[in-house]
Structure 1
Amino acid sequence: MGRLAVILPAAGRSTRFGDPSQKKVYAELDGRAVWLRALDPFLTHGEVEQIIVAISPEDREMFDRRYRDKAAFLNLDVIEGGEERADTVARALGRIPPACDLVAIHDAARPCLTGELAAAVIAAGREHGAALLAIPVRDTIKRDGGDGLTTETVPRDGLYLAQTPQVFRRDWLEAAYARRDVGGPAATDDAQLVEAIGHRCVLVPGSAYNIKITAQEDLKLAAALLEIQSGRDRGRDPSPHPFEDEPPAWAELPKIDPNRLFGP
């Protein structure tokens, strides 16, 4: 069995965060930076060979000043990303060692990912070649005509909200990125690029708790979700780490059948 490389793109501009003094991935969440919390589920996963954190060149001085010791202790490979997210991921792919045949990409702004969810999507990615966390759309969807008025109600049957991590065979992901500029609209996630070269991606049940920090108020929501996950708000001891003595919950999940999701 090959090894797993993890890419954490953290080079975004955070234009919607609303705090000109810092980017969202460097904001503190319960005493730790958002990007560090996003890494937690991968630090003790047995298959992880390499973790690449891709930062903006303009953040290098600040990053080294705040996090150099932590990055060294965690053996992180810190690189400078590109102008767009796809450029950042492409640069990271070039740093992955030959031993890694599987790649997980996780948003640096998703700090509430659990070890169970990470392990489930990694297992599905290894079995099927491409997998992502996703949750079904529950709200009614309206289409705007560009003038603030509705033009239709979009049926939500079969619609999912994509999350990360997204996990792929390395050769599929490299082939997808080699063709990322060939026609069509700009991809909004890595799974879209892999789909464009003919590979379907397995949907692994995600969680509404696996939120992405976009605006400052999301930090308060994330802090509350971390409280719930740890059990502190209900007076219980924090849950044991999923890779300590007790077997992780994901190990008991049934294998994912892509036919159940997509049909034969």
Structure 2
Amino acid sequence: MSKFTVILPAAGRSQRFGDKNYKKPFAPLADRAVWLHTVERFASRKDVCQTILVIAEEDREAFNAKFGANLAFMEIDVAIGGNERTDSVAAALEKVSDQAEYIAIHDAARPCVEDKSIDAVFAAAEKSGAAILATQVASTLKRAEGSGKTPAIAETVSRDGLWAAQTPQVFARQLIEQAYANRGSEPATDDAQLVERLGHQVTLVPDSPLNIKITTRRDLRLAELILKTAAPKKPDGIAHPFAGDDLWR
């Protein structure tokens, strides 16, 4: 059985979330912090040998005070992130276990990913070396012109062949390490983009649109509904010492 390290970036500034008390990975969702729901999807898998949560330096003290017992009990490693997402993933890559053959990178603010989707993208990465979850674009796409609150349509863009990238994004260890070693200063919005720059093909694994990323506070309500209707996830040996409403204050 191949061994996977899972990296969960949670060091972003959450500027669009709109809550001065919480960053989105730490906001309460069904009586637990968002990131705890997310880590549950991976922590009990036999093929996952390590989980690394990436947090911001400014959050370290409060995070350790609130979630230190969770980290110890669930055997989660912590890395301190940087200004950009790629900086955060790079910091986590330095902590990857020698056991890991593959690296899975999954947004800490995506708590609704299904087990069958993780199975599928892990298997695809084992075959091709690089695979991501994604959904085909179904909506008509418009490119806007102008700025402010009332932009106008500049053109309609063909949706043929377009997919919306999700996570996990999973790569052979040497491949993603090479991609990060060669990333340079050009921005990248996801990890697959760095692998693409190496000329390596990345497999698209069709996924459910319910694998949402929490971006604003209203997304929490949708995520709660999704979790309630999903098959129950009861990983062995997982406890939540800090369940309750006061998850971050």
Q: CA RMSD in A?
A: 1.6
Q: 1:9 touches 1:54 (CA, 8 Å); kept in 2?
A: yes
> Residue 214 of structure 2 aligns with which residue?
213
The amino acid across from 1:16 in the alignment is R
Deviation at 1:145, TM superposition (A): 2.1
1:111-260 map, 5 Å: 111-147=111-147, 148-181=151-184, 185-230=186-231, 239=232
The more displaced of 69-78 and 40-49 is 40-49
- Of structures 1 and 2, the one with the larger relative CO (CA 8 A, separation 6+) is 2
SS in 2 for 1:100: coil
Q: Which runs of 4+ in 1 moved over 2 A?
A: 239-243
> What whole-Å deviation, never above 9, does each CA across 1:151-202 have from its counterpart, x for those lacking one?
21111011001000000011110111111115xx411000000001011111
The amino acid across from 1:47 in the alignment is D
> What whole-Å deviation, never above 9, does each CA across 1:183-236 have from its counterpart, x for those lacking one?
xx4110000000010111111111111000000000011111111214xxxxxx
Q: TM-score, normalised by structure 1?
A: 0.85
> Residue 75 of structure 1 aligns with which residue?
75
Counterpart-to-counterpart distance in 1, 2:120 and 2:34: 22
The amino acid across from 2:154 in the alignment is T
> Residue 85 of structure 1 aligns with which residue?
85
Counterpart-to-counterpart distance in 1, 2:153 and 2:113: 35
The amino acid across from 1:149 in the alignment is A
> Residue 59 of structure 1 aligns with which residue?
59
Counterpart-to-counterpart distance in 2, 1:72 and 1:45: 17
Counterpart-to-counterpart distance in 1, 2:192 and 2:27: 28
Counterpart-to-counterpart distance in 1, 2:121 and 2:72: 27
> Residue 256 of structure 1 aligns with which residue?
none
Q: TM-score, normalised by structure 2?
A: 0.90
SS in 2 for 1:63: helix
Counterpart-to-counterpart distance in 2, 1:109 and 1:214: 8
> What whole-Å deviation, never above 9, does each CA across 1:30-61 have from its counterpart, x for those lacking one?
01110111111111211111111110011011
Q: 2:40 touches 2:235 (CA, 8 Å); kept in 1?
A: no
The amino acid across from 2:103 in the alignment is V
Identify unmatched segments of 5+ residues in structure 1: 231-238, 244-264
Q: 2:43 touches 2:235 (CA, 8 Å); kept in 1?
A: no
Q: 2:54 touches 2:92 (CA, 8 Å); kept in 1?
A: yes
Counterpart-to-counterpart distance in 1, 2:66 and 2:121: 31
> Residue 48 of structure 1 aligns with which residue?
48
The more displaced of 37-46 and 48-57 is 37-46
Deviation at 1:241, TM superposition (A): 5.6
Counterpart-to-counterpart distance in 2, 1:50 and 1:227: 27
Q: 1:5 touches 1:102 (CA, 8 Å); kept in 2?
A: yes
Q: 1:115 touches 1:242 (CA, 8 Å); kept in 2?
A: no
